């Protein structure tokens, strides 16, 4: 990632994009590098401009934000690719879960504050995932249902086989990540340095075929590594 977080805005409303640009460009560490009014344009500009974060609306003409997210995250399978932060007016579970399945690193509603938006961009830019607390609860509730587990990872291995690849420490870190702990909080809990925690998180994500912490939370609850209240 560059010194400034480079952001591409994808929304079909010009006034909305202008508002986002005004909010973001007063920040010393954020630079808006482009604007796209539809998903097709967002994919093309992402490939051309290589932003750190794509701020993506869902409902856009032509290629919608979810389809565009799938294409962007597919292009960015290698480490260091752009993170997609979904920002939508629509508080719908189908959009939430489709966004996670498409590889989005975060999901926010447009009724949030400018401060929350700025912080969310910084969070996903540094490789972490982000969900609003009320959305996290819904993810947990869905994947905690009996029979809700998919049974395999994205690369076709069984969850059991993928989890066997984790060291005891990596599994311990995964449990804490699923509980919403930051790297700093995990470091305190396990008496480790933050750099060591970051390495454990990165290795666990790699072994499980996961992109970021949002996917780690989903995986952990989906496959019974942790349970609500556990």
Quick one: how far is CA 36 from the chain centroid? 20
| Bridge partners, 85 (sequence order) | 55, 106
Strand 130-131 relative to strand 106-109, pairing = parallel
Task: Please give the Cα distance from 44 to 65 (Å, whole number).
Answer: 13
Q: Is the pTM of this model over 0.95?
A: no
In the DSSP assignment, the letter for residue 81 is P
Angle at 15 between CA 11 and CA 21, to 5 degrees: 75
**How many CB atoms within 10 Å of residue 141?**
13
Question: So what's the pLDDT on residue 152?
Answer: 55
pLDDT tens string 49-60: 999 999 999 999
Q: Which residue has the higher pLDDT, 94 or 204?
A: 204
Question: So what's the pLDDT on residue 72?
Answer: 93
């Amino acid at each position: 990632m560059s010194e400034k977080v480079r952001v591409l805005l994808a929304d079909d409303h010009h006034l909305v994009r202008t508002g986002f640009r005004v909010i973001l460009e007063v920040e010393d560490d954020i630079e808006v590098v482009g604007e796209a009014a539809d998903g097709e344009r967002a994919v093309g500009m992402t490939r051309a401009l290589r932003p750190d974060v794509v701020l993506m609306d869902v409902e856009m003409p032509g290629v919608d934000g979810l389809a565009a997210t799938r294409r962007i995250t597919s292009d960015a399978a290698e480490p260091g690719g752009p993170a997609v932060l979904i920002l939508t007016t629509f508080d719908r579970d189908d959009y939430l879960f489709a966004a996670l399945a498409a590889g989005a690193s975060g999901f926010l509603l447009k009724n949030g504050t400018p401060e929350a938006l700025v912080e969310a961009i910084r969070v996903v830019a540094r490789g972490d995932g982000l969900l609003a607390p009320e959305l996290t609860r819904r993810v947990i509730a869905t994947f905690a249902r009996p029979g809700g587990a998919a049974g395999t990872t994205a690369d076709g291995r069984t969850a059991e086989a993928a989890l066997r690849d984790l060291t005891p420490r990596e599994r311990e870190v995964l449990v804490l990540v699923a509980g919403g702990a930051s790297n700093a909080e995990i470091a305190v809990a396990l008496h480790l340095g933050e750099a060591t925690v970051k390495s454990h998180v990165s290795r666990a994500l790699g072994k499980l075929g996961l992109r970021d912490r949002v996917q780690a939370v989903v995986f952990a609850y989906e496959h019974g590594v942790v349970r609500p209240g556990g």
